[in-house]
Amino acid sequence: MLNRVPNGNIRYIDLTTEAEQLAGNYLSKGVVPLKRVTNAEYIAIATINHADVLVSWKYCQPGADTWL
């Protein structure tokens, strides 16, 4: 599916200190469960970079454990 998205529309973003701190806040405030550190980081990166959409294929898999 990703190969159908034009390269000009894909932006790769790194985990920054700011995103790590925001993810920590999400975890400590209970916005994201403590066992979902990576998810908190994804959400923080999306927030800081003003992403319109955050897509995860993990939750499309049968039997995947979801917290949403």
Q: What is the pLDDT of residues 7-49, one digit of tens each?
A: 887 778 899 999 999 999 999 999 999 999 999 999 999 999 9
Q: Give residue 15's identity as a one-letter amino acid code.
A: L
Which pLDDT does position 50 carry in this prediction?
A: 94
The answer to whether residue 4 sits within a structural domain is no
The answer to whether residue 30 sits within a structural domain is yes
The number of domains in the chain is 1
Q: Give residue 36's identity as a one-letter amino acid code.
A: R
The answer to whether residue 19 sits within a structural domain is yes
**pTM exceeds cut of 0.85:** no
Which of residues 1 and 10 earns the better pLDDT score?
Answer: 10
Does 57 have pLDDT greater than 70? Answer: no
Q: What is the per-residue burial (b if ≥16 Cβ within 10 Å, else e) of 13-23?
A: eeeeeebeebb
Average pLDDT over residues 63-67: 53
Q: Give residue 38's identity as a one-letter amino acid code.
A: T
Q: Is 33 helix (H, G, I), strand (E, B) or coil?
A: coil
The answer to whether residue 68 sits within a structural domain is no
| Orientation angle between helical segments 17-28 and 37-48, nearest 10 degrees | 120
Which pLDDT does position 6 carry in this prediction?
A: 83
The answer to whether residue 32 sits within a structural domain is yes
The answer to whether residue 65 sits within a structural domain is no
- What residue numbers bound the domain in which 29 lies? 13-60
Asked whether the beta carbons of 56 and 64 are under 8 A apart, the reply is no
